[in-house]
Amino acid sequence: MQRPIPCYFMRGGTSHGPFFRADDLPADVATRDRVLLAVMGSPDARQIDGIGGADPLTSKVGIVSPGKDGVDLEFLFAQVSLKEPLVDTTPNCGNMLAAVVPFALERGMLPARGEVTTLRVLTKNTGTLCDIEVQTPGGRVEYAGSARIDGVPGTASPVNINFLDTAGSVCGALFPTGNRVDRFDGVDVTCIDNGMPVVVMLASDLGVTGYESRDELNGNAALKKRIESIRLQAGPAMRLGDVAKKVVPKMCLVSKPVGKSGHISTRTFIPHDCHSAVGVLGAVTVATAAVTPGTVANRVAEVPAGARKAFSVQHPSGEFTVVLQMSEHDVVTRASLLRTARLMMRGEVLIPGHIWKD
């Protein structure tokens, strides 16, 4: 016998995966994680017996519940490992976050609020709050539009995300080591958390240009070994403990921007495979490092003038613009960005009945 679970399959930004109401999943965490592994087909590199996409960017799950105390919705993000039976709810995901409000409206958790619906969302992984704005003409989610984001074909309706307080949301401080530059294995790094723990390094310090393709970097075993060594040392220094089986911190190689339109070039590992683009909160964090004097990223960044900076983060499949508001002391006080989302399937996902018994 198989057990059906209500499920909406959503694209959020450059990621996609199944979304669930929290009360449609087991309350017990261990059972819930077994259910999610079965849903995605993990552990298996092809995820052939589940609905995962055989890539870290498409092995993600969103779990949504009603909010309280001025919060409209609560979002729990789960990164499901392909290689081992692991469901990690330590990090958050700004791409999947873009699909939370469309999911909740489609699922009937809350009604639309006029032509544009803005809901406050708490990411339970990190305690991060944001206001998410979705187009809802006629009380229905509008998916068609003219907004374009690199990494997603075509155009769609905009989803605007305004982060309210992300500094130190995972590690407890923007610079969790207390330094703007640390040194591991002879390499200068900046350990920073503005919504996503990231270790920023100069690509040139690791013997690459930082302009290589994703496949080329993924095939560089010596480079990946060096990056992992640094990551395992940086994790405890960033108050994350032993990170051997965690997906954070992300590791980001930076270099000077290509052309005149960008402000920094990046290649991000999440954490062992090079990202085809860049994560939303990873982009916010790297951009924050880039505009902050004294960091490794600031050494190669072209920082735009003004208190409000539209900062372009280049990545393997294009660029990602983060809007940063600065204080008079060169401190980032707010970040906002544009994503898109789409409902792709709704129905029930089936798992073997023995995994979740009443």
Q: Would you list the domain boundaries of the chain?
A: 2-158+341-355, 182-339
Question: Does the 182-339 domain belong in CATH 3.10.310.10?
Answer: yes
* Dist. CA 274–CA 219, nearest whole Å: 10
Confidence (pLDDT) at 330: 85
Mean pLDDT by groups of 10 residues along the chain of 358 residues: 97 97 98 98 98 96 97 98 95 94 98 97 94 97 95 95 91 97 98 96 98 97 98 98 94 96 95 92 96 97 95 95 91 93 98 95
* Dist. CA 225–CA 223, nearest whole Å: 5
Outline where 9-151 has alpha helix (H).
29-40, 94-97, 100-106
Confidence (pLDDT) at 80: 97
Instruction: Indicate the SS3 state at residue 166.
Output: coil
Confidence (pLDDT) at 261: 86
Q: Which amino acid is at 20?
A: F
Confidence (pLDDT) at 78: 98
Outline where the chain has alpha helix (H).
29-40, 94-97, 100-106, 214-218, 221-237, 280-291
**Contact of 326 with 310, CB cutoff 8 Å:** no
**Helix %, strand %, coil % of the chain (to 5):** 20, 35, 45
Confidence (pLDDT) at 234: 98
Confidence (pLDDT) at 260: 87
Residue 58 belongs to what H/E stretch? none
* Dist. CA 177–CA 172, nearest whole Å: 10
ω into 249 cis (within 30 of 0): yes
Same fold: 2-158+341-355 with 182-339: yes
Place of tokens 């390094």: 201
**Contact of 21 with 107, CB cutoff 8 Å:** yes
For residue 29, what are the CA distances in angstroms to 90, 291, 322? 14, 39, 34
Architecture in CATH for domain 2-158+341-355: Roll (3.10)
Sign of CA dihedral 320, 247, 94, 182: negative
